[in-house]
Amino acid sequence: MTKPASNVLDSDPARGTDPDTGTRERAWWLWLVVPAASGVGLGLAWWLLAPGGLNVLSGNPALADPTASAGRLPRDLVLAGLLLLSGCFTAVLLDSKVRKPGHGVRTFLAVSGGAAGALVAWQAGLLAAQWWGHASSGGDGFSLRSMTALLLWPGTTALVTFLLTLFSLMGKQQPEGPPVAP
The model's pLDDT over 91-136, given as tens digits with 9 standing for 90+, comes to 999 887 667 788 889 999 999 999 999 999 999 999 999 998 776 5
Q: State the pLDDT confidence band at 69, using cuts at 50, 70 and 90.
A: confident
Which residues have C-beta within 8 Å of that of residue 9, sequence separation ≥ 6? none
| Between 8 and 85, residue with greater pLDDT | 85
Beta partners for residue 24, in sequence order: 17
pTM of the model: 0.78
Q: Tell me the H-state helices in the chain.
A: 5-10, 30-49, 72-95, 103-132, 152-170
pLDDT at 165 over 60: yes
pLDDT at 3 over 80: no
The percentage of the chain sitting over the pLDDT mark of 90, rounded to a whole number, equals: 47
In degrees rounded to 5, what are phi and psi of residue 49?
A: -90, -30
In degrees rounded to 5, what are phi and psi of residue 120?
A: -65, -40
Q: What integer pLDDT is reported at residue 181 of this predicted model?
A: 67
User: What's the rounded Cα separation, in Å, for the pair 70 and 156?
Assistant: 27
Mean pLDDT of the chain: 81
Q: State the pLDDT confidence band at 8, using cuts at 50, 70 and 90.
A: very low
Helices 72-95 and 103-132, packing angle to 10 deg? 150
Angle at CA 105, nearest 5°, toward 100 and 109?
120
